[in-house]
Chains A and B, each alone.
Chain A
Amino acid sequence: MVILPLKMQGATAHIRKKRLVGPVDITITADGFTIIMGPNGAGKTTLLRLMHGLQRCSGGLVEWAVPHAKAREKQAYVFQSPIMMRRRVVDSIAYPLRLRGLSASAARATARESAGRFGLEKLLDSWAPMLSGGEKQKLSLARALVIEPDILFLDEPCANLDGRAIREIEAILRDAQAAGTRIVMSTHDMGQARRLAQDVVFMYDGKIHEHTAADAFFTSPTTKEAHAFINGDIVE
C-alpha cells in the first residue's frame, strides 16, 4: 500500500481568525526529497503540520492516495524540539511498534536491531530525556523510521545542532530516502538545503511562492522574495 501522492488543494489554516497558511496547492509525489524554506513566520511548520494532520484545515483539501486513517499509519513526524518520552532509549524506539500491536519483546528486539543505524547502540539502556541534543534528535529519527514510513516530515531537525550531529543526521536521512521513504523537511540552513534538496518549496507570508527543482531554485529563483532569501538579504 502506497499512500502517496499527497495533494493539497486550497488548503488553509487559521488560528483565531488569523490566517497562518494558505490557500496552498501542492502535490507531493512518491519520490524525492523536498525542502521547505522561507523566513520566520512564513508558515513552514504549519504547512508540515497540515500535511501530517497535526493541524486541521480551516478550508480546502488534504488528500492521500488512501483513506486518511490508513495514510496516518504510514507517516512519521520529527519535531524541531525533540519530544522525549520518559523511557529508556530502547523502549522509546520500540514504542511506535508497540502501538501497532507488536509484543514488548519483539518490539524491543527490532529496536535493538535498528539502533545501530542511528549510532544509538551504546545508549539503548540510557534514559531518553538525559541524552544530548544531537542524540535526542537521532533518537527521534530512529523512533520515526522504525515503522518504515512511506513519508517522513521533519521540522528543522538540525536547528541548534553542531556540524558533526548535522552530518550524522543528514546521512541518516539519505539512507532513509534510499530505503524508500519520501522526505519533506523544513530548514533555515541554506547549505543543508543545497546538500539534500531535490525540490524546494519557498514559502512567504503563508503562501507557496515557488515550488521547483532545487537546481532551478538556487540558480534562478522567480520571485524577488526568494531571490533576496537566497542572497542572504533580510526578508520580512
Chain B
Amino acid sequence: MNSISQGFWDAWGLILTFDPDLYEIIFLSLQVTVSAVIIASAIGLPLGAWLAVNRFRFRRYAIAILNALMGLPPVVVGLFVYMLLSRAGPLGGFGLLFSPEAMIIAQVIIITPLIASISHQTLRDLWAEYHDLLISMNATRMQRIRALLWDGRRALLTAMLAGFGRAIGEVGAIMIVGGNIDHATRVLTTAIALETGKGNFAFAMGLGLVLIMLAVIINLLIHALGKTERASTW
C-alpha cells in the first residue's frame, strides 16, 4: 500500500516538474497512437460503410471474418509485422523494424477491424433508415457511403475512440516490432512493463497514471468537440 501511495505522489512530481523522459515517452505514445487511429479510420470507416450499403454473395462471411479479426492477438500481429519488416522479410528493405513506423503499422492492423466492425454496426442501422430515401433520390453508391459517413459522424467517433483505447493500451505487438528502445521507440505501455520489471514502481506508476489520464482526456475532448451528448439522438 505504501509503495502505491509513494508511487502516486512521485508520479505527480514527475508530471508537474515536466520530467523530460516522461514527456518524451508521452509524446511518442500519442504520435504513434494518433497516427494509427487516423490511418485505421481512413480504412475502417469507409469499409464499414461499404459493407453496410452493399449486398454481395459472401457478405455475411466477410462481416463474420471482420468481427473475428477484432480479437486478433496483438502478440501474433507483432510477430507477423516483425517477420514482414525484418531483413529477411518481404518489406525488410525499408528498414522500418524497431521504428515508430513499425509500431504504427502493427497498431493499424490491430485496430482497423475494430473500427470497421463498430462503424459497420452503426451505419447498418442508419442505412436501414436512409435506404428508401437515398434510392429514391437516385444517389450513387459513393454518394450513399458519403451520406452515411457524414450523417453518422458523431456515432462514428465512438468507433474511433474504441480504436484509440485499444491502441494506446497496447503492449505486446509494439514491444516486438518497436523493441522498447530508449529515446527511440519507448512508449507508455512498454515503459511501464520495463519499469515494473526493474522494480521502479514510482516511475511505472507515474506512467500508468499518465496513460489513464490521457485516455480519459482524449475521450472527453472528442465528446466535447463532437457535441456527442448534446445531440445524442443522432
Contacts and interface: CB of A to CB of B under 8 A. Distances in A.
A52 interface: yes
Interface in A76-127: 76-77, 79, 83, 85-87, 95-96, 99, 127
A73 B136 CA distance: 10
A72 interface: yes
Given A72-B138, A99-B139, A99-B143, A83 B133 contact: yes
Q: Chain A interface secondary structure, helix, strand, loop or mixed? A: mixed
A185 to B, nearest CB: 15
Contacts of A52: 136
Interface in B135-173: 135-139, 143, 147, 151-152
Contacts of B136: 52, 54, 76-77
A133 interface: no
Contacts of B137: 76, 95-96, 99
Q: Chain B interface secondary structure, helix, strand, loop or mixed? A: helix
A129 B139 contact: no
A86 B234 contact: yes
B229 interface: no
Contact of B234 (A73, A77, A129): A129
Contacts of A96: 137
B129 interface: yes
Contact of A85 (B132, B135, B147): B147
Q: From B129, B135, B136, name the one whose CB has the most chain A CB atoms within 10 angstroms.
A: B136
B151 A83 contact: no
Contacts of B130: 83, 85
B123 to A, nearest CB: 12
Given A99-B143, A129-B233, A85 B133 contact: yes
Given A127-B231, A129-B233, A129-B234, A83 B139 contact: no
Given A73-B138, A129-B234, A79 B151 contact: no
A83 B138 contact: no
Contacts of B132: 54, 77, 79, 83
Given A83-B129, A87-B151, A95-B137, 20 more contacts: A52-B136, A54-B132, A54-B136, A73-B138, A76-B136, A76-B137, A77-B132, A77-B136, A79-B132, A79-B133, A85-B130, A85-B151, A86-B151, A86-B234, A95-B147, A99-B137, A99-B138, A99-B139, A127-B231, A129-B233
